[in-house]
Structure 1
Amino acid sequence: MNDSIKLVPAKAWWHLTVEEFNNNISKPFLIPIELPESVQERLNFIHKLLQLAYFENQLFDVAYREALLTFELALHARHKQLMGNTKRNMTLEKLIDWALAKNLFVKAKHNVHALRKLRNGYFHPVNFQMALGHMSIQGVYGIVDTIVDLYHDEETHVLRMKEEKRIREMLVQYEKSGVALESNGERTILYRAELSVFDNRFGRSVYHFIFWPIFDARWNAGDSVDEGEPITIEVESVKKKRTGLWLIGEKEVALTKLRGNEAKIWSLFKKNIEAEDMSMPRYLVEMIMGKIRWESKRKVLWPNQFTDLK
């Protein structure tokens, strides 16, 4: 009797070669900071499981369980590193609450505690669970992001939130009275001005902005409205001056108060865009800006979990 194992692709991956699978499905983890050797070794093992899932789909579930266990072990290790010891009766729930109080997680409290509930379900099952297979892959990458979060400087997350709040409050005030984007001597009156996210992780300092110029907020003969296109800008510094906000990056741009006839143009646009029949164009603008905002945030805060699978 021949009991040798024949490695053939799982049915879900017949359309991919091993190389295509590894490049597009089981992508390498993005870990831009140095982790403890014990944590890094476990993450390397988890990634190998993801690669082997090309031949056996249920290895995705094994990788997911290992990721949950690694998350718990990493929490214990980080607590010991910062606090000097970890009590024997320190439960996962208490460890998570401690890390949340230390502002070590970007994710919301309920999302982090959800990992604890998933861990309990996997390691204390009451019945046979349906295998998730490749549907669990985003979960694995999400846990990796959460583990990386643990090893940020404690103040990074707090400083990011404070800076985002400061910039957004200023933008709200500018939007109320009207604001123009000035670059290379050209001025563009804006409908919307928003900070998507401030990236201060891993020693960076990058502000991601979205701007939407005003447009002809009226239905034309073809029963359509040309809303125009958003402007996205990434800068390294934001300085408040008497004349407005200066956004400093590869090139310097500024958000300034309206001048001369610009105020009249803005006032007419505001009147038109707030009309009842402009609800659809308003919704479209907010929808597109929301998508851009999410893309910026996910690339900054969750680079592994929301990586594009092909």
Structure 2
Amino acid sequence: MSPDAADAAPTYEILKFEDLDGWQDDDHSAALSVFLNTCADIKDPEWATLCALATSQPSARTFFELFFRPVLINGDEPALFTGYFEPELRGSRTRGGPYQYPLHSKPPEVRNGTTWSSRREIEELGLLEGRGLELVWIDDPVEKFFLQVQGSGRVKLAEGGAMRVGYGGKNGHEYKSIGRELIRRGIYEPHQVSAQVIRNWVKRNPVDGAELLRHNPSYVFFREVSEVPADKGPLGAMNRSITPMRSIAVDPKYNLLGGPIWIEKAGAKPLKRLMIAQDTGSAIKGAQRADIYYGTGDKAGRAAGRIRDKGRLVSLMPIQTAYTLVPGG
């Protein structure tokens, strides 16, 4: 999307529910359940009324059709769907055996908005060792690295149970892509690089691999997210657990966080489903842009990594809001 397009006023078109391909075949009750997780967090009197009415209707489909109108925002804008997931790592609360790579909490001297030591300095000088900053010990340095890129995840503990960790701060250095570095060195062509390819290369080349990871000076610290049970989804932008295949990340400039969004995703595995906008992302920009949450673990990660598809998003808006945006629509 060009800068001029980004600055242009949004366009709106009110559709009918019969215009939504596959609407009648969806599980509207599942969507309503996810909608109710965050509906009360929308700070608007009109939405408060809708939340109160949500469970008093004869069916979930009736609720959406009675109180909402489908609104296509920037319908001429090319749509793009991608996927994301929550990594699951193996770890232990104590160091031992394969568990040698710690996730650290933020040192007290690290201040937001300032630059601290680089990844190389942290690792080579042992700046975090012996300070009691270890939250959990991981069995794989590459998985630790990718978790720092992702910012949050779940650790399956050797002692039993699991720990969820979330973003706790960073050292202030800008992220540098190690995938691009592999391309620059001539090791891979751009179309060959993926997270799995990087993982495999680092594991095959442990010395050079450790050096490659240090090409990225950014270092992320974590915190234990104890307020969310490990069997629930991670927190989204609304500070509530998100739900696999029902929660999406959107651009809140165009689509209301907490609002229902109908998606028609094309590609090898088409998806036509009522989703709830419960998250955001730095790369999610534009009215026709969404990131679909696929769940936790490797299987979800593989599924999410294959998604880069066209289609369209249609926002379900309260009737009064829809007709205010499109008078006479």
Pairwise TM-score range, normalised by the shorter structure: under 0.3
Q: Which has the higher contact order (CA 8 A, sep 6+)?
A: 2
**Greater C-alpha Rg:** 1
- Larger proportion of strand: 2
- TM-score by structure 2 length? 0.25
- TM-score by structure 1 length? 0.26
